Amino acid sequence: MTKQFFGTDGVRGAVGNDPMTADFAMRLASAAAQVLVPAGGTVVIGKDTRLSGYMFESALEAGFVAAGADVLLIGPLPTPGIARLTQEFDADLGVVISASHNVFSDNGIKFFDRSGSKLTDEVELRIEEHLKNPAITLGSQLLGKAKRIDTARIRYQDYCAASVPEGMDLQGLKVVFDGANGAGYKVGPRTLGNLGADVIPIGCSPNGKNINEGCGSTEPDLLQLTVPALKADVGVALDGDGDRLVMVDENGHLVDGDQLLYILAMARHEKGELQGPVVGTVMSNLGLEKAFASKKIEFTRAKVGDRYVLEVLKETGGILGGETSGHMLVLDKSTTGDGLICALQVLVIMKETGKRLSDLAAGMPKYPQMMVNVRTGSKIDPASSREIQTAVADAERELADAGRVVLRASGTEPVIRVMVEGEDHDQVVNIANRLAAVVADSAA
């Protein structure tokens, strides 16, 4: 069966358009409660800083309470914080209202099960089956209740700080922290500061409309200028809901998710603490694969989406995985992608080794890579087009063993992503543009 509403990471879209309406949110809560929350069970609801979060919070609260669930309202907190508090409060379900790195006018709703993990495709399909029916309202004696939890931020800060080795602090590190005007705007600077770092916050003044605007992991230009200008040691950038991380070295150079995964894996490998394979995605840079091969570190690729990286890690017994975009999984520290916890792990490595971030990232050569997003009027399957497959085969022959071609449909918008990487930049650009033109013609 094909899912109608759930995409790569929950339900997402433009606010006011289906499915991101108050009515749908209430029905979604009712459906999720019927699948995952037993009678008298508990649901944790958190959100990022988008203005529309108030509306969706109220709608979800109504849907869950009407279905007999008790609701704990957390307020703005990073997505991984909600995953953690779902476990800490022994709740049956965690809910996050966020469109992650998307623009302010979008929003989304995603779920965690009682173990703090994202839902499987099978569970999401079961929820969609219940969405075919109206929301339920139980009798008065069976309704749930709601209350706001004022200690949530402190609980999550303590949890993040506990991921740092006992007795270690971050004194001596000057850190520029970019909170994307999102859910991590308070917990990020305070956690780093409590651990002794000298913190300069930017992107930490949300007004409900400026989330991810000119800041954060998707727009790190200001961070790249600020770090060297203030002679800081490192920059840390989260996205709007705090589950993505990119960093900036002392020279203002961006260090992406592939490089961070390399740094984390190498540190574990050198200590003999690396378990199972390291898991990337089909979009991970070829340089990462080559770097691991040179150290005889097993590396495998999953489909795009941190939920699929997590599935492969669980299947293989691995503990480290991630995406180029900065979704990082460190399973012995957190059950889901956590930008702040991953940043702390990298800062710890810097402290332990005395090395700069640029030195730690230098061991991974980055192959030239080009991504072209081809917008389509409707969803198309690149694998079903003879013209596209012929063009891909020609490109792969041209690249030989020195590059890769990946075409995939976006899980959140009508876009085909054409990715080409190889050793020669000009060749990569030429092939990517040629393939994009073929895809665009096929989608016309």
pTM confidence score: 0.92
Domain regions of the chain by residue span = 11-150, 168-254, 256-361, 369-443
Query: What does the pLDDT read at residue 52?
Result: 98
Angle at 304 between CA 372 and CA 344, to 5 degrees: 105
Alpha carbons 225 and 357: distance in angstroms, whole number: 16
Contact residues for 117 (Cβ-Cβ < 8 A; gap 6+): 83, 310, 335, 336
Instruction: Give pLDDT, residue 285.
Output: 95
CATH of 168-254, one of 3.40.120.10, 3.40.50.1000, 3.30.420.40, 3.40.50.1110: 3.40.120.10
The two domains 11-150 and 369-443 share their CATH topology (first three levels equal): no
Q: Which residue type does 159 have?
A: Y
Unique residue bearing structure tokens 């997402």: 12
Signed CA dihedral, 184, 190, 193, 194: sign only: negative
- Cβ neighbors of 444 (< 8 A, separation 6 or more) are 377
Distances (CA, A) of 441 to 267, 376, 388: 46, 10, 9
| CATH number given to 11-150 | 3.40.120.10
What does CATH list as the number for 369-443?
3.30.310.50
Residue 247's CB is within 10 A of a number of other CB atoms, namely: 31
Residue by residue, pLDDT tens for the chain (444 residues) are 789 999 888 999 999 999 999 999 999 999 999 999 999 999 999 999 999 999 999 999 999 999 999 999 999 999 999 999 999 999 999 999 999 999 999 999 999 999 999 999 999 999 999 999 999 999 999 999 999 999 999 999 999 999 999 999 999 999 999 999 999 999 999 999 999 999 999 999 999 999 999 999 999 999 999 999 999 999 999 999 999 999 999 999 999 999 999 999 999 999 999 999 999 999 999 999 999 999 999 999 999 888 899 999 999 999 999 999 999 999 999 989 999 999 999 999 999 999 999 999 999 999 999 999 999 876 678 888 899 999 999 999 999 888 999 998 876 678 899 999 999 999 999 999 999 999 999 887
For 386, other C-beta atoms within 10 Å of its C-beta total 8
User: Do 32 and 124 meet the contact criterion of CB atoms below 8 Å apart?
Assistant: no
Q: What amino acid positions are annotated as catalytic residues?
A: 100
Query: Could you name the CATH architecture of 256-361?
Result: 3-Layer(aba) Sandwich (3.40)
Contact, 364 vs 259, CB < 8 A? Answer: yes
